[in-house]
Structure 1
Amino acid sequence: MTKTLPRIASVVRTGPTVLGVTWRDGPSDRVDLAGWIATGGDILAPLKDETMFATARLGDFGAAVEWGPEDGDLAIDAHHLRLIADEQRRFGHEEAAAWQAEARLSNQEAADFLSVSLSTWNAYKAGTNPVPASVSMVCRAALRDPILLQAHYRPRKPGRPRRAGAPPSAA
């Protein structure tokens, strides 16, 4: 099954390293490219200059955002821009509950997988505690890469644990 590549309808600079992106398929995102620029070495160094970053424009008929001269190489393709936008999107209590359902984990298994207490996990799902960025990153990564989930998931047995020293029940 092939996935359609994203296309950008419009782009506008909204901050020193932030783009307002409207996608052709409808949604809009505010995408902060500070991390992408900072880890891009000499190739992306020109984008640290706000004047250069402000030259952002659509390229390749919406397949990229480009900066600088028309014939330059400074660009990010729509696919990678969408990946960054998806990662920066809000991950609140609704998203935590949806992640747990998709991963098919119990509350305790989800808490164990994320190395948080059951009460902390339940507070994330109830919306009484904000979901930390590190937790949202792990949740999203585990859905993208099932091996990550399989490597660290430890299933729980249903029911109450046996009393210490009690013989196993005959089933």
Structure 2
Amino acid sequence: MAEEASSSNDPMWSVPKFYFTVTFASLEHPVPFMEVSGMDIESQIIEYRAGNDPRFSTSKMPGMVKSINVTLKKGVFNSDDAFWEWYGSVKMNTITRETVTIVLNDEMGSPIMTWVLNNAFPIKIGIVDEETTNNEILVETLELVHESITQSDKGSL
């Protein structure tokens, strides 16, 4: 019989998505999140053509790096208003920027991958679904803008 592949030891095994823990500089403990999306970066393209280039086309070079907003989703708990307070504190020229560390955990709760958002602050907060006919938990979304993102597959930086 063939042995089952271990997701933690086999580099050819896809990383499972179990849950995320997110650490905010202003909070004492990490916060569990059920979904994280938007951890994307992309390079803007600079098109250039030298005046003496015999080709009738442009050269393309990588330009400024653009970070996409990150959206976090978690269940709502009683007296859980830290993110609403943080969002409420953001005003013109008064921004509390934070370093936000997002950790993907495996089924045993061990870190698999880590991302760090630098100079992040909230731009949107809300409740995903206000429908009361289902027997589901209430889900809160928090959208963060940030200046850069770094990633490590070692679980911590």
Normalising to structure 1: TM-score of the pair?
0.17
Structure richer in strand, relative to its length = 2
* Higher RCO (CA 8 Å, separation ≥ 6 residues): 2
User: Normalising to structure 2: TM-score of the pair?
Assistant: 0.18
* Structure ranking higher in helix proportion: 1
